[in-house]
């Protein structure tokens, strides 16, 4: 959500930051709606999962009716904020995201390959919405990179689910029965290479160099290289990846890598302007 403001050169503009923050809150609410709808529909299957069975709806701590009522209130409130407080274009992207992900929860997640593509498109819509919220043009390279990185995480998640559930995979989700570890490993390999190449090409793209006035972004390539390899290590050697967000915030080396990447990007993009001062 913050990629638009960060990679547009507006990170030091407090008005743009405020709009990006509101956009972030809107999409947090919409993501909550999707999780609630998905958990209601999947509550029976989730009870067969070693981890998801502890979710409030699957465990019986929250009733499906209450969850759906909460989802309805959240969706209306989030869309009102999106259309009225941010902008109509942002609201349209937010609405598209909500419709697409509800369709995923209801139907699309049962179709092999289409399930992970839909999830990945959800991340693309988030990145696009972040750019629309601050009224900037988002690089096509960054949209492609968002799609590929989301596919990488989604396919890794499917692999982790397949390994964890073993013979119960089909009972948990029909699409899982159509995957195999070999097929997912091949897909992950393709997406891994494509993600790294897309990021490298973005850093050396002439438009990127003109926008930021530097070609030094290429120096940040080792960070995504290490980050993706570390994630693959966790998936294959530590049987991780079942919950990408949890993996990203609990693995120390991965956290350090992301932090160093973020700091290096900020210094390269905004450092010269900060050093030159406002009057120069």
Task: Tell me the average pLDDT of the chain.
Answer: 87
Residue 239 in this model has a pLDDT that exceeds 80: no
Reference 72, options 108, 109, 123, 34; nearest CA is 34
Q: Report yes or no: 231 and 239 within 8 Å, Cβ to Cβ.
A: no
Q: DSSP readout, 17-74?
A: HHHHHHHHHHHHHHHHHHHHHHHHHTHHHHTTSTTGGGSHHHHTSS-HHHHHHHHHHH
Helix %, strand %, coil % of the chain (to 5): 80, 0, 20
Q: What span, in angstroms and rounded, lies between the C-alpha atoms of 178 and 113? A: 9
Half-sphere exposure (Cβ direction) of 131: Cα atoms closer than 13 Å? 17
Domain parsing of the chain, residue ranges: 1-138, 140-280
DSSP for 242-257 reads SSHHHHHHH-HHHHHH
pLDDT of 280 reads 37
pLDDT grade for 146, boundaries at 50, 70 and 90: very high
Rounded Cα distance, 110 and 190, in Å: 23
Q: Rounded to whole angstroms, how far apart are CA atoms 210 and 175?
A: 44
Region of 49 on the Ramachandran plot (φ > 0 left; ψ -120 to 50 alpha; else beta): beta
Percentage, residues of the chain above pLDDT 90:
54
Query: For 96-117, what is the mean pLDDT?
Result: 92
Q: What integer pLDDT is reported at residue 186 of this predicted model?
A: 95
- 47 Cβ contact list (under 8 Å, min separation 6): 53, 58
Hey, what CATH class is 1-138 in? mainly alpha
Tokens 């499906």 label which residue?
A: 64
User: pLDDT band at 178, cuts 50/70/90?
Assistant: confident
Provide the 3-class DSSP secondary structure of residue 8.
Answer: coil
pLDDT tens-digit map of 250-268:
899 999 999 999 999 989 8
Both tokens of 126, joined, read: 């988030």
What is the C-alpha separation between 45 and 51, in angstroms, rounded? 12
């Amino acid at each position: 959500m913050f990629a638009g403001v960060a990679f547009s050169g507006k990170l030091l503009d407090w008005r743009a930051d405020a709009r990006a923050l509101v956009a972030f809150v809107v999409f947090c609410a919409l993501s909550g709606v999707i999780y609630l709808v998905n958990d209601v529909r999947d509550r029976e299957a989730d009870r067969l999962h070693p981890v998801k069975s502890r979710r409030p709806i699957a465990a019986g701590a929250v009733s499906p009716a209450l969850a759906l009522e909460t989802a309805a209130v959240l969706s209306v409130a989030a869309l009102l904020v999106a259309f009225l407080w941010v902008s109509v274009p942002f609201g349209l992207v937010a609405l598209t995201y909500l419709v697409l992900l509800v369709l995923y929860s209801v139907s699309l997640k049962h179709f092999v390959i289409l399930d992970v593509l839909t999830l990945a498109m959800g991340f693309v819509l988030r990145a696009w919405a972040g750019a629309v919220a601050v009224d900037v043009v988002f690089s096509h390279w960054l949209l492609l990179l968002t799609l590929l990185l989301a596919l990488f995480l989604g396919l890794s998640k499917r692999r982790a689910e397949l390994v964890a559930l073993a013979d119960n995979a089909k009972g948990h989700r029909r699409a899982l029965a159509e995957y195999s570890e070999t097929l997912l490993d091949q897909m992950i390999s393709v997406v891994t290479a494509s993600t790294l190449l897309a990021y490298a090409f973005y850093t050396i793209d002439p438009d990127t160099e003109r926008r930021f006035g530097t070609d030094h972004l290429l120096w940040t390539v080792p960070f995504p290289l290490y980050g993706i390899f570390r994630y693959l290590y966790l998936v294959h050697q530590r049987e991780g990846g079942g919950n990408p967000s949890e993996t990203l915030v609990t693995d120390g080396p991965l956290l350090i890598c992301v932090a160093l990447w973020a700091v290096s990007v900020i210094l390269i993009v905004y450092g010269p302007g900060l050093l030159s001062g406002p009057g120069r």
